[in-house]
Structure 1
C-alpha cells in the first residue's frame, strides 16, 4: 500500500491529474452556465407558450443559486490551478461538492415540477455520467448512491401518504397537462440529455488528447536535450582524454621529421611523416568540432541579428570551392531575430553542407530567406537523390547519417534542431526520392516597427 501511494503521488502522475482537473473544471463551469440558461428557457416556454401553471418563485431561486455558485466556482478555479500539486485533493473535493449540490438543485426543481414524472428527470443520468468523467471512482460511487436516494425520495413523495401532508408532489400523469405535451417534453428531455453527454464527453476527450500530445512533445524535447548534454559530456571527455596522447604524438612526429631532414631518406618516408602530421591535425579538428557541435558553445549570448547578417555569416564560412554552388535569394527581408549569431549560423551552415554533399558537383543549392509577421524562414533546397519515407523518418537521430562511412558524424541535423528549438523555432524536412530535399528553418522574428531601418553591415553597428 505505501508503494502505491508513493507511485500515485509521483510528479508526472500529479501533473496528469492536474491537467485532467483543469480541463474537467473548465468544461463543468461552461456546462453549468448552459444549464442555468436552459432552465430559464424551459420555464418561460412552459409558462408563456404552453400555458402551464408553474411555481416559478422557488425555481427562480434555485437558478439564482446555481449561477451564484458557478461564479464562486470560477473564482476558486482560478485560484486552485495557480497552486502547486499538493492542492489537488482539495480541488477534487471541491468538484465533488459542486456535483452533489447540482444533484440537490435538480432534485429540488423536480420536486416543484411533478417529481419523477417530469420528463427532465432523465438528467439524473447526465449528472451520473459527468461524475464518472470528472470525479474520482470513490466520489462517483458516493454520488451514484446519493442519486438513487434522491430518486427514492421523489418516488415516495409521489405516493398519497398521509404523513406527507402538503409535501406530497402533484403527479403530472394525473394533471390537466395534455398527453401530447408530456410526450413532447419527454422527447426534448431525451434529446437534450443525449446532446449534453455526447458534447461534453467529446470535448473532454479532445482536450485530453491535446494535453497528451503536448506532454509527449515536451518529453521528446527533454529527451533530446538530455541526449545533447550526454553528447557534450562525451565530446568534452574524449577531447580531454585524447588531447595529451595526440600532443605527445605530434611532438614526437615533429622531432622525427626534423631529424630526418638531416639525413638522406626516400620521398615515401617523408610523405608518411607528413601524413602523420596531417592526420593528427585532422584528429584535433574532429575533436574540436565535436565539442562545438555537441553544445559547448551554447553559452554564447543572444543578440539582435539582421537576417542579412545571419546569411552572411552562414555563407562566408563555407569553403571557397563550394561557395559558388550556393544560389542565395537576393530578396532578403529586412527583419531581425534574437539568437546567438555563431551558434545559429553554424547550425544552418551544417544543413547547407549536407545539401552540398547531396547535390551533384555541377549543380547548385538554393538558399532562400523570407519572413512572415512572426517568423524568419530559411529554406535550403538541394538537387540530390532525395530520401524514401523510412529514411526520412530517422533524419535527426543522433549518429544516423546517409553519408559514406567517415564522411559525417550524423549530428548535423540533430544539433541544428536543438539549437533552433531552443529559440522556440522548428526545423522541418521534406524529401521526395529522385527530386531532392528541402529543409525549412523557422525562427521567431522581432516584430517590425513603423520606423524600421536598413539593416547594418555588421553586428557591432
Structure 2
C-alpha cells in the first residue's frame, strides 16, 4: 500500500500493525487459559461452555486473518474485520458474565482507539457506534454474575479487583500501541526530511549542471586560442620563461581534458583492481596536477578488496583533497581504513577551522570559500556524488587542529583478499 497516496497516516505499516494486534489476541487467549482454573478455584460458577465458544471464535478469527491475507485481502479490510470481531467476542463474554456490570467492559476502548487511528473515518465511526450499541444492550440482555455462596462483600471486592485489572490492561495496551505509532510517525518524518534535503540538493545540482554545460560550450574557443598562443610563445622562449610556459601548457591541457570529460558525461566503473592500487594510481595523477602539495599517507597502503570503483568517486575525492591542500598550507594527510563492507578515507589539514554554521550546512549549500577563485562548490558536489553512490561525507573540526573530512564508500560485491599494511 502506498503511504504517500493513502489518506491514512500509518497506511504503509498496516500489515505490521495487524500482526501486532494478532499477537495481542494470542496473549489474551493465553491469559484466558490461565484464568480459567483460577476462576474455578475461586468458586465462580460461570457458563464455561458459552465462554469457551467465545474464545474459540476469537481463535478462529486469529487463524483466518493470515489466511485471508495470503489470499490477497487488503490489510485495511483485514484490520477492520479483526477489530469488529474483537468487539463481537467481547460482547459475548460480557453477556455471559454479568453484562455491563462486568469490569471487563472497559476493554471496549482499545479496539475503538485502534479503529480511530488506523481506519478510514466511516469505518472508525461504524466501529465506535457498534461498541456503544453493544455496551448499551448489555444493560438489559445478559446473564447474571453467579458467585458461589452469595457473598455480596466478596463480590464487590472481586468487582473492584476486576476494575483495576481492566484499567491496567487498557493503560498498557493504549500506551504501548500509541507509543509504537508515535515512533513510526517520527521515523517517517525523519525520512521525509531527508528526502526534502536530497531534493533540494538535486535541484541545486541540476542548476549547476545547466550552468556547467553552458560554461563548457563558452570556454572551448578561449582555451583553443590560449593553447595556440602558448605553443607559439613556447617555441621562442628559454630559461625560466620556458618552464613557466610548459606549466601553462600542462594546465591548459588539463582544462581541455576536463571539458571533454564534461561533454562525454561521467563514466561507470573502471577495471577491477585492489582498492589501494586504484587509489595509488589516481593519487599519482592528482599529484601531477598539484606538485606543490605534500601528501602524507597513513593506514592501509597496499592490497584491499578487488573491485571496480565508480569513476564518479574520484572527482569527489579530488575536490576534497584540493580544498584541504589550499587550506592546509600545501600539506594534506590521508588515512585509508577498511571497515566491513566499507572504505573509509580521512582527509585532514592542520590549518583553519569551520564555524558551526558551516558544519551544519556542509553538503547542503555552497560553503563560503577563502580561495581567490573559489566558488565554494567542492564540498557540495562531493557530498552529492557520495550520496548517489550510497556513501557519506562528514566534516568536523579535528581536536588536534584543522579540519577533517571523512568519506565512507560502500564496497558491495567486492572480492576481498587479505590486506597488507
TM-score bracket for the superposition, by shorter chain length: 0.7 to 0.9
Instruction: Name the CA distance, whole Å, in 2 between partners of 1:296 and 1:50.
Output: 85
Summarize the Cα distance change of 1:405–1:184 in structure 2 as closer, same or farther, 3 Å threshold: same
Give 1:283-302 correspondences, 5 Å limit.
Answer: 289=258, 297-301=265-269
Counterpart of 2:62 in structure 1 is: 70
Picking from 118, 141, 144, the partner of 1:134 is: 118
Instruction: Judge conservation of contact 1:32–1:70 (CA < 8 Å) in 2.
Output: yes
Do 1:303 and 1:341's aligned partners in 2 also have CA atoms closer than 8 Å? no
2 CA distance for matches of 1:429 and 1:452? 31
1:287 deviation in Å?
7.8
1:353 is the counterpart of 2:343:
no
1:218 and 1:23 map into 2 onto residues whose CA distance is 19
| Aligned residue in 1 for 2:284 | 316
- Report which stretch shifted further, 389-398 or 201-210: 389-398
Matches within 5 A, 1:130-279: 130-157=114-141, 168-171=142-145, 178-244=155-221, 247=224, 250=226
Q: Is the 8 A contact 1:427 1:439 kept in 2?
A: yes
Q: 1:316 to 1:333 in 2, by over 3 A?
A: closer
Contact 2:106 2:170 in 1 (8 A): yes
Tell me, in whole angstroms, the C-alpha distance in 2 between the residues paired with 1:146 and 1:311: 69
Q: Which residue of 2 aligns with 1:84?
A: none
Residue 118 of structure 1: which of 95, 102, 115 is its match?
Answer: 102
* Residue of structure 2 equivalent to 1:436: 402
Aligned-partner Cα distance in 2 for 1:329–1:396: 26
The answer for the alignment partner of 1:385 in structure 2 is 352
How many angstroms apart in 2 are the aligned matches of 1:54 and 1:324? Answer: 89
Aligned residue number for residue 6 of structure 1: none
Are 1:52 and 2:18 an aligned pair? no
Matched, 1:35 2:3: no
- Residue of structure 2 equivalent to 1:367: 334
Tell whether 2:340 aligns with 1:413.
Answer: no
CA contact (8 A) 1:115 1:154 kept: yes
User: How many residues are aligned here?
Assistant: 406
Q: Is the 8 A contact 1:43 1:56 kept in 2?
A: no
Asked if the contact 2:51–2:96 (Cα under 8 Å) also holds between the matched residues in 1, the reply is yes
1:109 is aligned, of 72, 79, 93, to 93
Q: Larger deviation: 332-341 or 352-361?
A: 332-341
User: What CA deviation, in whole Å up to 9, does each residue of 1:378-432 have, x standing for no partner?
Assistant: 11111022111112122224543322341x2322222222222222221111126
**Distance in 2 between the 1:224 and 1:182 partners?**
63
| Distance in 2 (alpha carbons) for counterparts of 1:129 and 1:155 | 23
Q: Distance in 2 between matches of 1:299 and 1:319?
A: 22
Post-superposition offset of 1:179: 2.3
Query: Secondary structure of 1:367's partner?
Result: strand
Q: 1: distance between equivalents of 2:194 and 2:260?
A: 27
2:391 pairs with 1:425: yes
After superposition, the C-alpha distances for 1:70-108 in whole angstroms (9 at most, x for unaligned) are 34433555676xxxxxx9xx5434432322222112111
SS at match of 2:266: coil
Distance 1:402 1:433 in 2: 22
| 1:404 paired to 2:371 | yes
Contact 1:300/1:343 (8 A) holds in 2 = yes
* Number of the residue aligned with 1:335: 304
State the distance in 2 between where 1:303 and 1:61 align: 70
Given that 2:3 and 2:11 are in contact with CA atoms closer than 8 Å, whether structure 1 keeps it comes out as no
Secondary structure at the counterpart of residue 408 of structure 2 = strand
Change (3 A) 1:336 1:401: farther
Question: TM-score under structure 2 normalisation?
Answer: 0.81
Structure 2 unaligned regions, length at least 5: none
> Partners of 2:30 and 2:110 in 1: how far apart?
19
Q: 1:436-457 deviations in whole A, cap 9, x for unaligned?
A: 11111111225787x83568xx
Q: Classify 1:27/1:59 alpha carbon distance in 2 versus 1 (closer, same or farther; 3 Å).
A: farther
C-alpha RMSD over aligned residues:
3.8
Q: Which runs of 5+ in 1 are unaligned?
A: 1-8, 81-86, 158-167, 262-266, 456-461
2:147–2:155 CA contact under 8 A, matched in 1: no
In the superposition, the TM-score normalised over structure 1's length comes to: 0.75
| Cα distance in structure 2, aligned partners of 1:330 and 1:96 | 59
Change in CA separation of 1:305 and 1:253 when aligned onto 2, cut-off 3 Å: closer
Q: Distance in 1 between matches of 2:139 and 2:414?
A: 69
